[in-house]
Chain A
């Protein structure tokens, strides 16, 4: 028996024009959690696809339990004990938990009918692994929270009884609390001898869950280390190849808001609510202020943001923008008022993935980029060129669909589009989800600069360090209500979590 359950040696994979992997090594011990870190484009995902048989490497060797193996197909890799939890959910929402866990492997009778009872029993056994006995395996997956869906995804991946489980950004749609629940379950799996390969942008998670870590940069192996021997600065420095100072930048001097006449707020909401989603929301955001909106997934933060933007209008309460009563009934009206909203879901709700950068930059201000009734190609080109320069977007040629850009560059396209309307109030929902650390620090700088020009910013985020690092002030939501307001400079993780989970209440200023 080899020390390492999975080993990769000198893996090289070339795509037309790009060397995605260049002689990458990887060693994973039995029953450990091994993290892979690196910026977007470092080759993490490509390596995973090589390890799971989706891509075949140009050269290099994969050893499973010391024996060389090849994976002619993804199915072959699964059969030999490698399983993967996809970054984007692969569940079928309308089907039951049981059918999702055993997709395509349902127990069948001789005639090919699904043996329903056996299927449910097996699903129950599977749920029991994670102490989810109370969950009905016949329930359709769409009724579950994103966090629970992610856990079902893990159960689906381990239902093939793998020796190695790969997880690619499994926490990207989870809050910190749900993440810790997932981690608990990962620990149970490693105790059973399953090795976990864990990919994440959140370095704090690595220190919480991983035993060892491999750093990749630009498709190359940089280093391998025991997590207990290294710190975050070491990982970041190796990931980006340089040291990054404080990624959140300097918070604004609170006194400067006084100069801006703090009694006059840029945006105010009073008793804003929509039945079933949130109620009684009193918000106040000053010009130039970044206000964090924290809380668990499902606390109503996104719903509140979308209501202010008119996407799903509020049905009670009132809003003021620069002292004027407003009630946008659609995004169109909100944009006309100078309100922008950067969606949490850039792929399905933000970008036009098959359109090039210039079409995406123009989408929310077609009128401003027209001459008379005609769209002006020249104006659009100018706006797109300016955005590429200003936000340092690596677009790889403006004619290419934005689908081909990295997550960080895609997000910068959206940020550029929204800053482009020169908003009075910009709501950003999970502004750095799935974005690597280099692009993240840039995005923070763009938001700070925008606030510096007087825009009021509401930042919805499940990333606590982002909330704490960037916000001038923090509102915490729980079950559709704002349960507390904190000073950004004084708030701590504990104080936010306590409010978000209901362990504390009230206003501490």
Chain B
């Protein structure tokens, strides 16, 4: 099958996939415990929450968007659902309400970015504080526990020995990857990220797609919040702190860029898997836990440097037409509409 947009994106998936395999092979030799079912499942369970969010975040970042507030949405929807459950709401209604709240926060972000034209970073940075703050207000700084068993089943039940969060993440990744790769509707995100103004003049509903992108990200973050709360059996006011950075890091390692126009869900999952593997490997071979964050940063940097080198090379081939121009351009401050 011929490639659609960036051959680069596919190369990136291949590259990350190869590194993932290499790390796995190396770890099998380094630690007999690594390949055990228990370790693999623990590893997958650990990344399932961020992988769920990464599915929607990939679509959003492909369209040139960006959401810093997902960690706060996770905490807020978890706390809101738990509060409703504590107030005696039926499990189904509390879950639906949690999902609706997540989607509503995304809609709020999307409306401000697309219709009012505030920069995505600034808007969602504000939301990050807004909804972390609201979480603290409704929980009054306490964890909410004593949730009904039926609710805990969402994150704790197992099928053939596999916990539900892993299954939910896997299903969403597969559907999400197919959607973004093949569905006409979601392919529009690539056009928007590639050139927003040209996309609009090509008849794409840019504002609508952007708002939908944020709403889906909010919805998926809401789902992640419910899954996490259920798995832990309690809503924590600090849940999801720093999660947004892990999700965005995974999506970028997987081939997306802040400019938009590239990236895949499979890549984002592999990025997330690679980060989890590295963390796991460092733990198993007994490296001090404080090194983990450092290594994740290094991984991100190496991934984008390799990517950049690849792009430079492909541009040099055509005799780089670009003249150095003293123009001010910022990666985060993308023009908003025409």
Tell me the A residues contacting B by CB distance below 8 Å: 15-18, 20, 45-46, 49, 54, 74, 86, 88, 90, 92, 94, 103-104, 309, 311-312, 330-332, 334-336, 341, 343, 348-356, 359, 363-364, 366-367, 370, 373-375, 377, 381, 396, 399-400, 404, 417
Q: Is the CB of B197 within 8 A of A348?
A: yes
Do residues B2 and A377 form an inter-chain contact, with CB atoms below 8 A?
Answer: yes
Name B residues whose Cβ lies closer than 8 Å to a Cβ of A.
1-7, 182-185, 187-188, 190-191, 194-195, 197-205, 261-262, 315-321, 323-328, 338
If A20-B319, A311-B338, A373-B183 touch, whether A359 touches B5 (CB-CB below 8 Å) is yes
B188 A366 Cβ-Cβ under 8 A: yes
Contact partners of B7 in chain A: CB under 8 A? 399
Cβ 8 A contact of B326, one of A16, A92, A377? A92
The 7 closest A-B pairs by CB, nearest first: A15-B319, A352-B194, A335-B203, A404-B318, A364-B202, A363-B202, A332-B203
B325 touches A86 (CB 8 A): yes
Q: How far is it, in angstroms, between the C-alpha of A54 and the C-alpha of B338 when the chains are bound?
A: 33
Establish whether residues A377 and B321, one from each chain, have CB atoms under 8 Å apart when the complex forms: no
Rounded to whole Å, the gap between the CB of B129 and the closest CB of chain A is: 28
A92 surroundings in chain B (CB, below 8 A): 326-328
Residues of B within 8 A of A15 (CB): 316-320
- Indicate if the CB atoms of A311 and B201 lie closer than 8 Å: yes
- Bound state CA distance, A92 and B329, in angstroms? 10
B338: chain A residues at CB < 8 Å are 311-312, 349
B200 proximity list for chain A (CB < 8 A):
311, 330-331
Expressed in whole angstroms, the Cα–Cα distance for A375 and B197 within the complex equals 22
Cβ-defined contact, A363 with B316, below 8 A:
no
Partner of B323, one of A49, A312, A381: A49
Q: Is the CB of B319 within 8 A of A18?
A: yes
Whether A331 and B202, one on each chain, are in contact in the complex, defined by CB atoms closer than 8 angstroms, is yes
Minimum Cβ distance to chain A for residue B232 (Å): 37
Most buried by B among A88, A312, A364, A417: A364
B198 and A374 contact, CB distance less than 8 A? no
9 A-B pairs whose Cβ atoms sit less than 8 Å apart in the complex: A16-B316, A90-B325, A335-B203, A343-B201, A352-B199, A354-B194, A373-B185, A375-B183, A417-B202
Query: A46 contacts which chain B residues (CB < 8 A)?
Result: 319
A82 vs chain B, min Cβ distance (A): 14
Contact of A377 among B4, B262, B327 (CB under 8 A): B4
Closest CB in chain A relative to B327 CB, distance in Å: 6
Task: Give the docked Cα–Cα distance between A467 and B23 (Å).
Answer: 65
CA–CA, A213 to B6, complex, Å? 42
Q: Which residues of B contact A353 (CB under 8 A)?
A: 194-195
Cβ-defined partner of A341 (8 Å) among B201, B320, B325:
B201
Chain A residues near B319: list those with CB within 8 A: 15-16, 18, 20, 46
A-B contacts counted at CB < 8 A amount to 123
Within the complex, what minimum Cβ distance (angstroms) separates B182 from chain A? Answer: 5
Of chain A, the residue at the smallest CB distance from B194 is A352
Which of B2, B201, B317 counts the most chain A CB atoms within 10 A?
B201
Identify the closest chain A residue to B178 (Cβ): A374
Q: A375 and B205 in contact (CB under 8 A), knowing A17-B317, A54-B324, A348-B197?
A: no
Interfacial chain B residues near A18, Cβ < 8 Å: 318-319
B residues in contact with A312, CB < 8 Å: 338
Q: How far, in Å, is A339 (CB) from chain B's closest CB?
A: 10
Cα–Cα, bound, A490→B261 (Å): 48
Kindly list chain A residues whose C-beta atoms are within 8 Å of the C-beta of B203.
Answer: 330-332, 334-336, 364
The answer to whether A381 and B316 touch (CB under 8 A), given A54-B323, A332-B204, is no
Known: A343-B201, A404-B318. A74 touches B183 (CB 8 A): no
A residues less than 8 Å from B318 (CB atoms): 15, 18, 396, 400, 404
A349:B317 contact, CB within 8 angstroms: no
Which chain A residues border B4 with CB–CB below 8 Å?
359, 375, 377
Measured between C-beta atoms, what is the minimum distance from A152 to chain B in Å?
Answer: 13
Instruction: Point out the residues of chain A lying under 8 angstroms from B184, CB to CB.
Output: 366-367, 370, 373-375
Contacts A16-B316, A330-B205, A352-B261 known; A90 to B327 CB distance under 8 Å? yes
Complex CA gap A352/B195 in Å reads 6
Task: Give the residue name and chain of the B residue nearest to A88 (CB).
Answer: B325
Residues of A within 8 A of B328 (CB): 92, 94
Cβ-defined contact, B183 with A374, below 8 A: yes
In the complex, are the beta carbons of B198 and A381 less than 8 A apart?
no
Question: Which residues of chain B come closer than 8 Å to A343, judged between CB atoms?
Answer: 198, 201
Beyond the given A359-B191, A366-B188, please list 9 additional residue pairs across the A-B interface where CB-CB is below 8 A.
A16-B317, A74-B324, A92-B328, A348-B195, A349-B197, A355-B5, A355-B194, A373-B183, A375-B184
Which chain A residue has the least Cβ–Cβ distance from B319?
Answer: A15
Give the distance in Å from the alpha carbon of A351 to the alpha carbon of B199 in the complex. 9
> Distance in Å from the Cβ of A20 to the closest Cβ of chain B?
6
Q: Are A349 and B198 in contact (CB under 8 A)?
A: yes
**Nearest Cβ distance between residue B69 and chain A, in whole angstroms?**
28
CB closest chain-B residue, reference A400: B318
User: Contact between A352 and B191 (Cβ–Cβ < 8 Å)?
Assistant: yes
CB contacts (< 8 Å) of B323 on chain A: these are 49, 54, 86
* Interchain nearest-CB distance for A327 vs B (Å): 16
Q: CB within 8 A of A90: which of B194, B262, B326?
A: B326
B187 near A366 with CB under 8 A, answer: yes
* B300–chain A nearest beta-carbon distance, Å: 21
A71 to B302, CA, bound (A): 34
Known contacts A16-B317, A373-B184, A377-B2; decide if A349 and B201 are in contact (CB<8 Å).
Answer: yes
